[in-house]
Structure 1
Amino acid sequence: MIINTRWVKAILLGVLTLITIIACSSQPEVETNQNAANAPVADLKQLEFGVGPYFPTPNENRKQFDPLFKELAQQVNLPAKVIVTDDWIGISEALRSRTLDAAWLGPWGYVLANNNEPSIQAIATVKYKDKPTYYSVLMACADAPFDTLDEAIAQSKAGSKLKLSLADVGSTSGWLIPTGEFKRRGIDPKEVFDYSEGASHAAQAIAVISDQVDIASDYDRNLDVLESEGRIDKSKLKIIWQSEPLPNDPIAIRGGLPKEIETQLQQALVNLSPEQAQKLLPENYTGFVASDGSNYESIRETGKLVGKLK
């Protein structure tokens, strides 16, 4: 068989050309992907942190949380910008919209944010008096004619309705957990009590002591803070109901934050020494434990119970 050498050379030349085109066209794509992976870190000019209304005023909030956030930013060689919000839902929305890089959230706020945007993830849970848990409470005046929630419900049903105040609907201990408790008991608090919601935690104990309401929600940590600041005398209150242990507040990060930043922040939080915690955190907060968000599952289940999550 006679082979046309000119035809073979043409074929070989075409194959070589095709290989060269493929090689050349694929190389920029590899470089682009590498650049894309590195760009987010390079593009970060500062870390924007957020915190909800834990203390009575924005100035107090900033004073309490600025030291920690600035230290965390320093760990990743970036300046910190701290945003103080006046409601719990707003801070979750800011994480979801990526106007914040990280935030100190309430457990319910975190679950809501993660439910709406799964890329928002908890990286650490704060310890209070060396424990990563706290309690939701319902409280009344020390001299109230009832000692338990059962007794309060019975009294409110039998006579004039007792005034019940729950906190902001974005609050874990102030709204979600008490609402879940009433749901478990088959009770609609809006029917049984003279009901109101939306109060700040700072106002709840004061409203009880000043006889503005008969029962109010709060959390044990906040009562400690109010007493230490001389705002209340805890002996004038009694706890008529307390929840099971709840996971303490998480530090959560937005979706798309570079992995190396996430890792550095988590390590800085978990490795915080007791001495550093005393310097950088509000009173009685003693450090952090690592979290992947799974310890907030009980909060998620309560959200489903009250109809706020599917």
Structure 2
Amino acid sequence: MQRIRKWKNILIGTVGVLLVGCASANNQSDPGPESTMTLDSISFGVGPYFPTPNENRQQFEPFFDALAAELDLPGDVTVTEDWIGISEALRSGTLDVAWLGPWGYVLAHHNDPSLEAIATVKYQDEPVYYSVLIARADAPFDTLEEAIALSQQGEKLKLSLADVGSTSGWLIPQAEFKRRNLDPEAVFDYSEGASHAAQVIGVSTGQIDIASDYNRNLDVMIAEGRIQADEIKIIWQSEPLPNDPIVVRGNFPEAYKKQLQQKLVNLTPAEAAALLPENYTGFVASDGSNYQPIEAAGLALEVLE
């Protein structure tokens, strides 16, 4: 698949540049053993979970402010507009702590193993979610198999995947097509790179026939009235995927890391309701091993080496 090879080259190139920069910075300002380090402030980051940066900030800033207060440090929050940007900011040391997508974490950790996942968020009390492919409710197919057959027999259906840094919107659907020995660029009128909100709107308005998304985003779009539940249908759903991790940069002070993890896993239902976006109900501890299925998908697509 040409696009997969293209993105692999882009990711490798970006990683190479950042690693050189980070190595120089670390050599110039090595603060010594992480157990003895202290922080004057803390920088948090989050990716594009909601349709606009302003919405993202409104949804996540109270949570990060509470974490900064727990550590008795001044904090700031960076909101990025793409999934790759947030993971690269963490790897470069621009951020101390980030709420990453699973694929963003795997990409970043693969190239910088010093990054550590310390917790996985729970959604409706579960630490997992699902990648989905959606279509309009009145589409003349109900399953991915039927959509593939229809697209191969006549005019190609329009398939849109999300940006390359998205777990549910790009990686997992691509891995599913790989499992089926199908090239989506050959079978469909293919495009990629849209936000998850744009994916759903594109299907509901008939601009595209099939789009990738994830169950959590569908819940938000329906709850906010952006679409009606009966406008779309799910034609394919993945196996359970680990929810988003909270990740700390390399050489993050051990004492702060333990304090953060303890606060996350001990978040009460009342605190979760007050600080987190709707339906996010807390965290479970993680050491990163629960993201192995995401890494396996990246290896299968040869995006990771």
Scaled by the length of structure 1, what TM-score is found? Answer: 0.87
124, 141, 162: which is aligned to 2:136? 141
86, 93, 99: which is aligned to 1:98? 93
Cα deviation 1:54-99 (Å, max 9, x = unaligned): 0011110000000111111111110110000001001111111111
The 3-state SS of whatever aligns with 1:77 is coil
Aligned-partner Cα distance in 2 for 1:38–1:209: 52
User: How far 1:241 sits from its partner (Å)?
Assistant: 0.2
Aligned-partner Cα distance in 1 for 2:32–2:241: 43
Is the aligned partner of 1:274 residue 2:269? yes
Cα deviation 1:281-302 (Å, max 9, x = unaligned): 0000000000000000000000
User: How far 1:40 sits from its partner (Å)?
Assistant: 2.5
113, 116, 121: which is aligned to 2:111? 116
Cα deviation 1:134-183 (Å, max 9, x = unaligned): 00000000010000000000000000000000000000000000000000
Structure 2's unaligned 5+ residue stretches are 1-30
Is the aligned partner of 1:51 residue 2:52? no
Contact 2:34 2:254 in 1 (8 A): no
Structure 1 pair 157–37 and aligned structure 2 pair: CA distance change class (3 A): closer
Structure 1 range deviating more: 108-117 or 226-235: 226-235
Q: How does 1:198-277 map to 2 (within 5 A)?
A: 198-277=193-272
Aligned-partner Cα distance in 2 for 1:58–1:46: 23
Cα deviation 1:171-200 (Å, max 9, x = unaligned): 000000000000000000000000000000
Is the aligned partner of 1:69 residue 2:95? no
Is the aligned partner of 1:197 residue 2:192? yes
Q: How does 1:79-90 map to 2 (within 5 A)?
A: 79-90=74-85
User: How far 1:45 sits from its partner (Å)?
Assistant: 1.7
Contact 2:35 2:255 in 1 (8 A): no
Q: After the TM superposition, which segments of 4 or more aligned residues of structure 1 sit over 4 Å from their partners?
A: 34-39
Structure 1's unaligned 5+ residue stretches are 1-33
Aligned to 1:14: none
User: How far 1:234 sits from its partner (Å)?
Assistant: 1.7
Is the aligned partner of 1:40 residue 2:37? yes
Cα deviation 1:187-236 (Å, max 9, x = unaligned): 00000000000000011111001110000000000000011111111211
User: Structure 1 vs Structure 2: percent identity of aligned residues?
Assistant: 68
The 3-state SS of whatever aligns with 2:125 is coil
Is the aligned partner of 1:107 residue 2:102? yes
Count residues with an aligned counterpart.
276
Aligned-partner Cα distance in 2 for 1:222–1:168: 15
Aligned-partner Cα distance in 1 for 2:193–2:145: 24
Aligned to 2:170: 175
281, 291, 295: which is aligned to 2:286? 291
Scaled by the length of structure 2, what TM-score is found? Answer: 0.89
The 3-state SS of whatever aligns with 2:267 is coil
Structure 1 pair 53–150 and aligned structure 2 pair: CA distance change class (3 A): same
Aligned-partner Cα distance in 1 for 2:32–2:64: 29
User: How far 1:120 sits from its partner (Å)?
Assistant: 0.5
Structure 1 pair 130–37 and aligned structure 2 pair: CA distance change class (3 A): closer
User: How far 1:35 sits from its partner (Å)?
Assistant: 7.7
